[in-house]
Amino acid sequence: MLQIKNLFAKVEDKEILRGINLEVKPGEVHAIMGPNGSGKSTLASVLAGKEDYEVTQGEVIFNGKELLELEPEDRAREGVFLAFQYPIAIPGVTISNFIKTAINEKRKYLGEEDIKAVDFLKKIKEKMALLEIDSKFLGRSLNEGFSGGEKKRNEILQMAMLEPQLSILDETDSGLDIDALKIVANGVNKLKSDQNATIVITHYQRLLDYIVPDYVHVLYNGQIVKSGDKSLALELEAKGYDWVKEEVASLA
């Protein structure tokens, strides 16, 4: 589904990604961990198409297409979803209208009709129940005055409604208490299938107790320096990142 090959990216002349290689297949969950400043969020932003980042080398293939050649909106319509670490507030745009617009933009791209109002309502109610979201939520302005937990749940609600093939969760656990974390993780797990894949970017292991990864990668200094299964996450939790850093240093 996704192949990242030797990806280099910089922002304002500072090189942040320095040769990332990663392959994600349908049905898989990959966790990307790493200390602050290692390039985790940059990787997410580059995949989603944020303009501030300049890709200097490498390629990303998504379902056979050159992802980096696509506009951000077309990446989304092709099935890439980024759950933002810091979702943006847009006063005056209700959640309901926003999600409906996004769905219809995707449908238009795929040559489909707009979603019927009843179908939309039925679907969103179902997904809201899954994420334990109150129905009053729909009429609220997007992310305006939302608590941290509400913002993150709203991200996962959008994910549930847009049904992406590849979801990238950027520090979705940051700022969540344990109850909210469980609800969000439960939502993500229920949306999992053998057709779609998830990349979970996180600093801490805790989220991975609930969203169990097939692979864990350690990002450090813009490179994936270590990969393993879920036990790697536990090891990082117990020992911190210093040993990884030392390993990298001794190899250099």
Partner 1 sequence: MNVETSFDFKHKFIEDFTLFDSKRVNNSSEFVRNLRANGIEQFKALTAPNRKQEEWKYTKVTEIINKEFFTYASRLEQDKIDLSPFLIEGLEAHLIVFINGRFSERNSSDLSALKGVQVGNLENVLQNNSTSVEKVLGKVADTEEKFFAALNTAYFEDGLVIQVADGAIVDKPIFCLCLSDASQGNLMVNTRNLLVVGKNAQVKVINANYSLEDSAFVLNNQVSEVVIAADAIVDTYKLQMETDKSYHFDYTQIHQQQSSKFSCNTITLGGKIVRNDLNYLLQGEHTESFLNGLYLTEGQQLVDNHSLVDHAVPNCMSDEFYKGIMAGNSKAVFNGKIMVRPDAQKTNAFQSNKNILVSDNATINTKPQLEIFADDVRCTHGATTGQLNDEAMFYMQARGISKEKARKILLQSFAGEVTERLELEVMRDYLNQVIEERINQL
Do residues 83 and 167 make contact, with C-beta atoms less than 8 angstroms apart?
yes
Show the tokens assigned to 110: 């795929």
| CB-based contacts of 31, cutoff 8 Å, min separation 6 | 199, 200, 201, 202, 208, 211, 213, 215, 216, 217, 230, 233
Distance CA 31, CA 232 (A): 10
CB of 46 to partner 1, least distance (A): 12
Among residues 78, 81, 50, 46, which one has the least CA distance to residue 157? Answer: 81
CB of 139 to partner 1, least distance (A): 12
Tell me which stretch binds partner 1 (CB under 8 A): 34-42, 61-69, 72-80, 236-244.
72-80
Q: Does 111 bind partner 1 (CB under 8 A)?
A: no
CB of 164 to partner 1, least distance (A): 9
Q: Report the largest interatomic distance among the alpha carbons of the chain, rounded to a whole angstrom.
A: 61
Q: Does 2 bind partner 1 (CB under 8 A)?
A: no
Distance CA 7, CA 46 (A): 10
CB of 230 to partner 1, least distance (A): 28
CB of 244 to partner 1, least distance (A): 30
For residues 103 and 233, which CB has a smaller minimum distance to partner 1 in the complex?
103
Single-letter code of the amino acid located at 50 = K
Q: Does 126 bind partner 1 (CB under 8 A)?
A: no
**Number of residues engaging partner 1 in binding (CB under 8 A):** 28
DSSP letters for 24-83: E-TT-EEEEE--TTSSHHHHHHHHHT-TT-EEEEEEEEETTEEGGGS-HHHHHHHTEEEE
Q: Does 106 bind partner 1 (CB under 8 A)?
A: yes
Q: Does 49 bind partner 1 (CB under 8 A)?
A: yes
String marking each residue 73-92 x if it binds partner 1 according to CB under 8 A? x-xxx---xx-x--xx-xxx
Show the tokens assigned to 179: 């109850």
Q: Does 71 bind partner 1 (CB under 8 A)?
A: yes
Binding site for partner 1 (CB under 8 A): 48-51, 71-73, 75-77, 81-82, 84, 87-88, 90-93, 98, 101-102, 105-106, 109, 141, 158, 162
